[in-house]
Structure 1
């Protein structure tokens, strides 16, 4: 990930911690930059966005009740939020400790495992939805 890309939206004059007290607009730009950069550079995030769109289409055509839409939105946004956190962790650790280290590797693996766990839970919930919908 290009760590300097956020600077094109706002000049910190060398003091990155000043981001904390920026205007709402600038903070929005920081968040948007994170989403955009992650989408461009992380294949997993792209896949999750595509799967969320596919799942939305399936829910729409199967006329899912509002509770299923709410569950879906919570699960999909949780997966994508975890992917963003994972990307932040990986980029930070790669920057601070570029050489191979087993403890750094474990930290990255744990962050990836959190995403995997949410994906498994989402698949299980999707099958519960199908079971309820079709009384399989």
Structure 2
């Protein structure tokens, strides 16, 4: 049995609710996520229009979704670290910097995918 006591369809519905709550919380509290979501609102339709075939569309859309995923993970990491207080600690700073670097790499990945698909 699951740790929460829920099984089957109930567990799936509860998990979907927690996921939605996480998306809403991130949207409410994280400016970077809102900015990336706005960029996706413009780029998603563009990806469907510019991509020639399913593979190109999947690459273009997937690179954008990856940026959002990494931003969600970075925001979660930062929230967990911030929970422990405002004092500066080298390990906390390192973890936050690593999360930020992951977002940067996701953005670079998206730029590379878009560049390679559109140049082709």
In structure 1, what is the Cα distance between the partners aligned to 2:59 and 2:71?
A: 18
Structure 2 alignment gaps of length 5 or more: none
CA contact 2:26–2:75 (8 Å) conserved in 1: yes
**Displacement of 1:20 after TM fit?**
4.3
In structure 2, what is the Cα distance between the partners aligned to 1:100 and 1:25?
A: 39
TM-score normalised by the chain length of structure 2: 0.84
Query: Which residue of 85, 90, 95 corresponds with 1:107?
Result: 95
CA contact 1:19–1:27 (8 Å) conserved in 2: no
Structure 1 alignment gaps of length 5 or more: 1-17
TM-score normalised by the chain length of structure 1: 0.75
How large is the RMSD of aligned CA atoms in angstroms? 1.9
Aligned position for 1:127? 115
Structure 1 or 2, whichever has the larger Rg, is: 1
Aligned position for 2:105? 117
Aligned position for 1:74? 62
In structure 2, what is the Cα distance between the partners aligned to 1:87 and 1:72?
A: 23
CA contact 2:44–2:61 (8 Å) conserved in 1: no
Aligned position for 1:94? 82
Q: Which has the higher contact order (CA 8 A, sep 6+)?
A: 2
